[in-house]
């Protein structure tokens, strides 16, 4: 698994398109939101943190993971790996480990910078739980999306619904709260996790009341993994 991960990390830094998608775009978007926070008085800091986290995870992790898996399938790398002694779980773990690790570092850096230039989070434990839950959810959705993605070029189309949908939901929940349409917002992918980030950063909500927000995110992980098992393909579609 580690050999696969090392090889994949080398490929990431050789691919300029992946580097732009994974590193430059989330960083630029994060800088823009931090700029807005400085220029707009009263802008909710928890909402900014939620949007920043989802920008990095969705644009950096989700899209890169789908593109990577589609590319490795197209060039038959997945098929060759599957003919070795390495099992399916370790193959996928090795391929996704570098992009996951880089994303977690990015999230940590972006949120640390935000806590330095503004105010730190009220509950670091909840914030970490929200970040890990979000990363896990987007990995599951990436596996499911990769199952219906024929090529890296096709990934630009297949990733759009979830990319735009999750970003829209996280921003909607972050900036409007859940006083209205609470159930709808929490059940949509990313909604509960975004609310958890807001609660973790702003405080004022009991930990027990916030932890139940992990349930919808875990449910989406189950749904995504179930779909991935049904639709994921190891060889190019004929």
What distance in Å separates the CA atoms of residue 97 and residue 190, rounded to the nearest whole number? 22
Instruction: Give the model's pLDDT for residue 205.
Output: 77
Instruction: Give the model's pLDDT for residue 118.
Output: 77
Closest listed residue to residue 98, CA positions, set 131, 61, 151: 61
Q: How far is CA 7 from the centre of its chain?
A: 22
What distance in Å separates the CA atoms of residue 131 and residue 4, rounded to the nearest whole number? 25
Q: What is the pLDDT of residues 14-47, one digit of tens each?
A: 666 666 666 666 667 667 666 766 666 666 788 8
Q: Could you tell me if 142 and 65 are in contact, meaning their C-beta atoms sit under 8 angstroms apart?
A: yes
Closest listed residue to residue 126, CA positions, set 194, 74, 175, 47: 194
- The pTM score is 0.88
Q: So where are the chain's domains?
A: 2-231
Instruction: Give the model's pLDDT for residue 65.
Output: 92
Instruction: Give the model's pLDDT for residue 150.
Output: 87
What distance in Å separates the CA atoms of residue 184 and residue 191, rounded to the nearest whole number? 9
Instruction: Give the model's pLDDT for residue 144.
Output: 92
Instruction: Give the model's pLDDT for residue 145.
Output: 94
Phi-psi region of 140 (alpha: psi -120 to 50; beta: other; left: phi over 0): alpha
Alpha-carbon separation of residue 220 from 23, 29, 49, 95 (angstroms):
26, 26, 21, 22
Q: Which residues of the chain have pLDDT under 50?
A: none
Instruction: Give the model's pLDDT for residue 20.
Output: 64
């Amino acid at each position: 698994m580690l050999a696969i991960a090392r090889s994949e990390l080398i490929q990431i830094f050789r691919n300029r398109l992946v580097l732009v998608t994974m590193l430059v775009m989330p960083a630029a978007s994060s800088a823009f939101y931090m700029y807005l926070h400085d220029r707009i008085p009263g802008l909710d800091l928890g909402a900014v943190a939620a949007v920043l986290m989802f920008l990095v995870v969705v644009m950096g992790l989700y899209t890169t993971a789908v593109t990577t898996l589609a590319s490795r399938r197209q060039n038959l790398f997945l098929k060759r790996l599957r003919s070795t002694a390495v099992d399916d779980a370790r193959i996928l773990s090795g391929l996704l480990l570098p992009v996951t690790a880089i994303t977690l570092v990015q999230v940590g850096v972006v949120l640390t910078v935000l806590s330095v230039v503004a105010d730190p989070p009220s509950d670091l434990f909840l914030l970490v739980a929200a970040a890990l839950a979000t990363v896990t959810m987007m990995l599951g959705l990436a596996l499911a999306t990769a199952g219906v993605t024929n090529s890296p070029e096709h990934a630009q189309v297949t990733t759009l619904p979830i990319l735009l949908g999750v970003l829209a939901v996280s921003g909607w929940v972050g900036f409007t709260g859940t006083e209205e349409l609470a159930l709808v917002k929490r059940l949509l992918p990313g909604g509960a996790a975004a609310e958890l980030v807001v609660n973790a950063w702003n405080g004022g909500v009991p930990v027990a009341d916030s932890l139940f927000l992990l349930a919808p995110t875990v449910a989406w992980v189950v749904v995504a993994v179930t779909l991935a098992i049904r639709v994921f393909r190891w060889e190019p579609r004929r």
